[in-house]
A and B are shown apart, each in its own frame.
Chain A
Amino acid sequence: MNETDARAVYQKALKAHRFRERAALAAVHVGLVFYVLLSVYPLLRIFSVSLRPGDRIISTDLSLIPAGASFLSYMKVLHETNFLFWLWNSLIITCATSAIGVSLAAAAAYAFSRFRFPGHKTGLTLLLGNEMIPAAMLLLPLFLMIMKLGLINTYLGMIIAYSVTSLPFSIWILKGYYDTIPKSLEEAALVDGTTRFGAFIRIILPLSTPALAIAFLFNFTQAWNEYLVARVVLTDARMYTWTLGLFELQGQYLTQWGMFAAASILVTIPVLGVFLYSSKWLISGLTLGGVKG
């Protein structure tokens, strides 16, 4: 075989290889686009339903922007339902729980990160084991306690029920982060004149703002999206959180579908935004807290 032949063969093989590569890449894109559609489609459908004009809420139309699109459903959900109350209830309950949860976790995680006290390992294991307890199992006694305390249909009952649910996870995330802060920083602060707790407040906490933000966000989304506890503790429609309200809207009559869709879009957009914006940290926090310990 002479040289030009060899080169021709080589070129041909190269071409075939490139073709195969491109075909594979195209297949990858096709696969991804397909699953992206699958992921996004329900959200798009809700969006399209929310835009349907009043007389065509119920239809077998599949187009994304329906004929005669209007914001009527949005107006209706804001004016004719307690939607704004629901949002406000969710907000205030969520903020209070997150504040309590994060401050407890921030302190406890520091103890776990920096001290090897008797019970250290047991404590960490129990925190992990806590994930195993079915929520439904705790819910019944909690509900009875809240009822006995007369806190049904109050914010306080909700805050009590929510405040520690995300605590173990927050402690794990924060402990993982504290572990990465060099100990010499605190030692320098100790020598400079702080107490140990002072070093925690002045050095560790300011340096942990990213992790604190993750923990806060985690607490926040957990409480914000919660449904099962709220369903049991809140029975008055004015006290509903938005999750209860939404279920109500979707459940009863098909005619309320437009309002359900509009309300869904209104609550989803900000949550989605915050989640996607913070997903990078949230995910690294998840792997940090859950995997590396």
Chain B
Amino acid sequence: MTALLGSIIEVARFVAVIFFAIALLEAYLYVHFHLYDRRWFLPACVLAAAAAGLGAARLWAPDRFFELGLAAAMVETALAFGFIRLRGRYALAYMMLAPAILGLTLLIIYPLCFEVYLSFHDLKLTTIMQWSRTGALPFVGIKHFVKVFTSSPLSEVSFWQLFLRTIWWTFINVFFHVTGGFALALLLNHKIKLKGIYRTFLIIPWAMPQVVAVLAMRGEFHSQYGFINITIQRAIDWLPLLGKAGLHPIQWLTQHPFLTCSVINIWLGIPFMMVVILGGLQYGASAFQQFRMITLPLIKPVLAPAVTLGTVWTFNNINVIYLVTGQAGGTEDADIMVSALYKASFSFYRYSYSAAFAIVIFFILFAFAMAWLKWTRGTESVYERD
């Protein structure tokens, strides 16, 4: 009981600290937005920042005393000119944005920069203690980037295998998500009884906690006690001819892990597409010609962003593959780039190597995204309709 109370207090204190930090930030912005036209504004800002920098240096990094003070003063000068240029306009807008921007900067932009730093230095299990004591790491140049293309991120599978497998994975998954979602949406689009109930049941794979859904599905692929093999075994028992014809229980998880993961992920992703497509459909289009002439143009505006989003999600999907194959001694035959990245980082502890690998993946995704955007003529037509 006291443990529970303690945890509540701990978290509440943390949230309070966050809100206090936000209040400080807002006070800083308020002063800058409202006093920008005073004559003493610029010198005061620079002096205050320098003092803050020196103070911080005294507390945390006495060996960098003047550097920190100077850096703070310079950053503040640049910012202060920005405030003077804005002339107090949009004060509220920026003040309301500031906490979110701060959060995104600290937790997305800074980590990305840190990742770039890591990729050119050498952090692994043997250097991690040194790093956490001194904060310094040996510089190794592009060694890790070279390694990404020449050695395996795990133990066997090569980068190019992963690359091709990722594309294949993304393609078949999205393809079946859309076709499956389409088929179900067209079925549901009839004027039928129990429509609401069907719809509710059909989105259950999406609504379930993904961990439960994946683990449950994995259970069904178990070689002995999974539904599929039980069914196969019973079919053989019932009609031995089938067994002679070559049907036999299959080691899904070890021999066909990629197929297993794909089936599970397709099963998981169909309901989302179904819902999106259903949202864009209307009654009355069922014949093929109508389908091509009316239905497709009708749902294109909802389908295009959903497919974009779905592609990115699938490309970045670690959950399914890791939950199915992630345990010790698991296979590498189903891994795509991101899941290999995750395993390389946290099962093999190759930090710097993983950072370089991550940056390569990011650029691959970026290139695909640019090509895709060019092909669909930019985000504007889809997103900017206000």
Residues of chain A at the chain B interface (Cβ within 8 Å): 25, 28-29, 31-32, 35-36, 38-43, 45-46, 49, 58-60, 62, 88-89, 92-93, 96, 99-100, 104-105, 107-108, 110-112, 114-115, 117-118, 123-125, 128, 130-145, 147-148, 154-156, 159-161, 163-164, 167-168, 171, 179, 196-197, 200, 224-225, 227-228, 231-232, 243, 246-247, 250-251, 254, 257, 260, 264, 267-268, 271-272, 275-276, 279, 283, 286-287, 290-293
A282 to chain B, nearest CB (A): 9
Known A32-B187, A136-B358, A227-B319: A141·B211 in contact at CB below 8 Å: no
Known A125-B379, A264-B216, A293-B383: A28·B205 in contact at CB below 8 Å: no
Residues of chain B at the chain A interface (Cβ within 8 Å): 4, 7-8, 10-11, 14-15, 18, 86, 89-90, 92-94, 96-97, 99-101, 103-104, 107-108, 110-112, 114-115, 118, 123, 132, 183-184, 187-188, 190, 192, 198, 200-205, 207-213, 215-220, 224-225, 227, 230, 233, 267, 271, 275-276, 279, 301-302, 305-306, 309, 312, 315-316, 318-319, 322-323, 327, 338-339, 341-342, 345-346, 351, 354-355, 358-359, 361-362, 365-366, 369, 379, 382-386
A271 touches B312 (CB 8 A): no
**How many angstroms between the C-alpha atoms of A62 and B205 in the bound complex?**
20
B96 touches A163 (CB 8 A): no
B215 touches A35 (CB 8 A): no
Residues of B within 8 A of A257 (CB): 219
Nearest CB in chain A to that of B218: its residue = A250
9 A-B pairs with the lowest CB-CB distances in the bound complex, closest first: A141-B111, A115-B93, A108-B100, A117-B90, A275-B207, A137-B358, A107-B96, A42-B216, A111-B93
A160 touches B107 (CB 8 A): yes
B10 to chain A, nearest CB (A): 6
**How many angstroms between the C-alpha atoms of A239 and B362 in the bound complex?**
32
Residues of A within 8 A of B188 (CB): 32
**How many angstroms between the C-alpha atoms of A287 and B273 in the bound complex?**
12
B191 to chain A, nearest CB (A): 9
A164 touches B108 (CB 8 A): yes
Residues of A within 8 A of B192 (CB): 25, 28-29, 32
Residues of A within 8 A of B345 (CB): 136, 139-140, 143
B209 contacts which of A105, A167, A225 (Cβ < 8 Å)? A225
A51 to chain B, nearest CB (A): 15
Q: Is the interface of A mostly helix, strand, loop or mixed?
A: helix
B66 to chain A, nearest CB (A): 25
A96 touches B11 (CB 8 A): yes
B224 contacts which of A60, A231, A283 (Cβ < 8 Å)? A60
B204, B309, B354, most chain A CB atoms within 10 A: B204
Residues of B within 8 A of A124 (CB): 383
B11 touches A155 (CB 8 A): yes
B225 touches A246 (CB 8 A): no
B323 touches A227 (CB 8 A): yes
**How many angstroms between the C-alpha atoms of A159 and B86 in the bound complex?**
35
A141 touches B190 (CB 8 A): no
A240 to chain B, nearest CB (A): 12
Nearest CB in chain A to that of B352: its residue = A140
**How many angstroms between the C-alpha atoms of A38 and B90 in the bound complex?**
54
Residues of A within 8 A of B107 (CB): 138, 142, 160-161, 163-164
Known A39-B204, A268-B208: A136·B316 in contact at CB below 8 Å: yes
**How many angstroms between the C-alpha atoms of A123 and B302 in the bound complex?**
23
